[in-house]
Amino acid sequence: MAAVTASPRLKHIQRSTVALLTLSAALNYVDRSTLAVANPLIRHDLGLSVVDMGLLLSAFLWAYAGFQLPAGALVDRYGPRKLLGAGIFIWSLAQALGGLVGGFWQFVGARAFLGLGEAPQFSGAVRAVRDWFNVRGRGMPMGITSCGSKIGPAIAPPVLTVLMLTCGWRWMFAIMGIVGVGVAILWYAVYREPREVALTEDEKAYLTDGEAKQVAERVTWADWKRLFAYRATWGLVLGFFGEVYMGWLYQAWLPGYLEMERHMSIAKTGWVAAIPFACGIFGSLGAGWLADHLSARGVSPINSCKIPVVIGLTGMASFTIVTALTPSTLVAVAALSIALGFNGMAGGMCWALASVMAPRHCTASLGSIQNCGGYIGGALAPAVTGFIVQDTGSFVPALLFAAGLGLTSALVYVFMVPGKPIDVAAFDGAAPAAA
C-alpha cells in the first residue's frame, strides 16, 4: 500500500528546500527593487525623465519574460539545482554591474542581464516543490515559497534605503550582488535532485501518490510544443498576464507613487512602502492554507488552487480602485496593503496551479510558459504607467486600468482553466484532448 505521509528524511528535505526557495525568492525581489527604491536619485544623477525611468524599469521585465520559455525547459531537463544555482550567480553579477553604469543604455544592459539570471527562479521553485511534495500537499509549500516574493519587497524599501543613504546607490547595487553570490553557493551546496537521493520505495510511493503514471523522466521538444495545444495552458498565460501587470505596477512604482501622488519624503517612503508588501506575506500563507484545506475536504487539487487565485485577483482589483479614488493618504495605504495581501493570495496559487496541472516532467515548462505571459504584462506595467502619469499628471487612470485587467484575469481563470489536469496520456503518443 502506498505511503500517505512523508518519512522523517523527506520532511527534512522538504523543509530545507522550502527555506532555500524562500530565501532565493526574497533575494530575487530585493534585487528587482533596487532600481525602484533608487528611482529619484538615479533620475537626478543620470538625467532621466519619468518616461525614461518607466522604460528602464521595463528593461528587466522584457528580458525576464523572453528568457522564461528556454529557462523552464532547461529546468525540466537538467533540474533546478544547476539552473537555479547558475541563475542566482548570473543575476547577482548583473546586480553588481548596475553600480558601475554611466548612462541609460548601460543600465538597460545591466537590467536585461538581471532578467536573464532571474528567469529560472520560479520555474525552478515550482519544479522543486513538484519533485518533493505530494500532489495534495503543494499549496502550503508554494504559499511559503511565494512569501519570498512578498518578504523581498517588504524589506527592500527600508534596507535598500538605508544602504543607499549611507553608501550611495552605486554601492547599494554592489553590496546586493555580493550577497547574491553567497546565496548561489549555498543553494548548490545544499539542494539535491530526487535522482541524487537514494529514495526508498515508500518515499517514491508518497511522492507520486494520487498522480497519473509518469510518462517520461525529462521533457523533450515535442512535449514542450504539445503544451500549447491545451486551452488550460492559454488560460494560465492570459490569466497571469493581469495578475503580474497589477503586481508590477506596485513593484515598480509604489515608492514613486507615494512620493509623487501622496507627497512623501524619500526617507518616509522607504518605511511606508514596506507595509503593503508585508501584507502580501499573509496573503500567500493564507492562500496556501486554504488550498490544502480545500484539497483535504475533497475538492480537486486544481480547483483547490484556482479558487484562491480568483478570490485574490478580484480582491486586489477592488482595493486598487479604492486606492485610486480615495483622497486620504491613510486610506490609500490601508487599501494598498489589502490589495497586496490579495496579490499574495493570487500569485502563489498561480504557481501551485501550474504544479498540479502539468505532467511531472513538464512542470517547470508549463510554469515558465505561464510566467512568460505574465511578465509580458509585467514588462508593460512600468512603461504604460510612466506614459499615463506623464500624460495625465496622475496615477489614478493607471490604477483604474490595472484594476480592470485584474478583474478580466479573474474571469479568464474561471472560464478558461478547466478543473482537470493536462492529459498525461497525450505525452505517451496520443493526440491531446481539448482540455
Could you tell me if residue 185 is inside a domain?
yes
Confidence label for 414 from pLDDT (cuts 50, 70 and 90): very high
Arithmetic mean of pLDDT, 376-393: 88
299 three-state secondary structure = coil
The residue among 310, 311, 318, 313 whose CA lies nearest residue 336 is 318
Confidence label for 424 from pLDDT (cuts 50, 70 and 90): low
Query: Looking at residue 175, what is its pLDDT?
Result: 96
The CA distance from 407 to 318, in Å, is: 8
Arithmetic mean of pLDDT, 7-25: 94
* Residues 227-252: tens digit of each pLDDT: 898 999 999 999 999 999 999 898 87
Could you tell me if residue 378 is inside a domain?
yes
Residue 261 C-alpha from the chain's centroid: 27
Query: Looking at residue 2, what is its pLDDT?
Result: 42
Domain that holds residue 169: 9-428
Arithmetic mean of pLDDT, 80-90: 95
Query: Looking at residue 16, what is its pLDDT?
Result: 96
Percent of the chain at pLDDT exceeding 70: 94
State the chain's mean pLDDT as an integer.
88
Question: Which grid cell sits at 304?
Answer: 483547490
Confidence label for 37 from pLDDT (cuts 50, 70 and 90): confident
What pTM value is reported for the model?
A: 0.76
Contact 139, 288 (CB under 8 A): yes
Could you tell me if residue 3 is inside a domain?
no
Q: How many structural domains compose the chain?
A: 1
Q: Furthest-apart CA pair in the chain: how many Å?
A: 68
Confidence label for 433 from pLDDT (cuts 50, 70 and 90): very low
Query: Looking at residue 434, what is its pLDDT?
Result: 46
Residue 347 pLDDT greater than 90, yes or no = no
- Which runs of consecutive H residues, i.e. helices, occur in 168-265? 169-190, 201-208, 221-226, 231-260
Could you tell me if residue 4 is inside a domain?
no
Residue 224 pLDDT greater than 70, yes or no = yes
Query: Looking at residue 210, what is its pLDDT?
Result: 66
Could you tell me if residue 2 is inside a domain?
no
Q: How many residues does the chain have?
A: 435
Could you tell me if residue 228 is inside a domain?
yes
The CA distance from 346 to 146, in Å, is: 10
Could you tell me if residue 386 is inside a domain?
yes
Residue 1 pLDDT greater than 50, yes or no = no
Query: Looking at residue 382, what is its pLDDT?
Result: 82
User: Which CATH number do you get for residue 255?
Assistant: 1.20.1250.20
Could you tell me if residue 108 is inside a domain?
yes
Contact 169, 161 (CB under 8 A): no
Arithmetic mean of pLDDT, 120-124: 90
Residue 124 C-alpha from the chain's centroid: 11
Arithmetic mean of pLDDT, 144-161: 86
Residue 134 pLDDT greater than 80, yes or no = yes
Q: Which residues of 101-120 are buried (b: 16+ CB within 10 A; e: fewer)?
A: beeeeebbebbbbbbbbbbb
Query: Looking at residue 20, what is its pLDDT?
Result: 96
Q: Which residues of 370-380 are buried (b: 16+ CB within 10 A; e: fewer)?
A: bbbbbbbbbbb
Percent of the chain at pLDDT exceeding 90: 45
The residue among 419, 240, 205 whose CA lies nearest residue 343 is 240
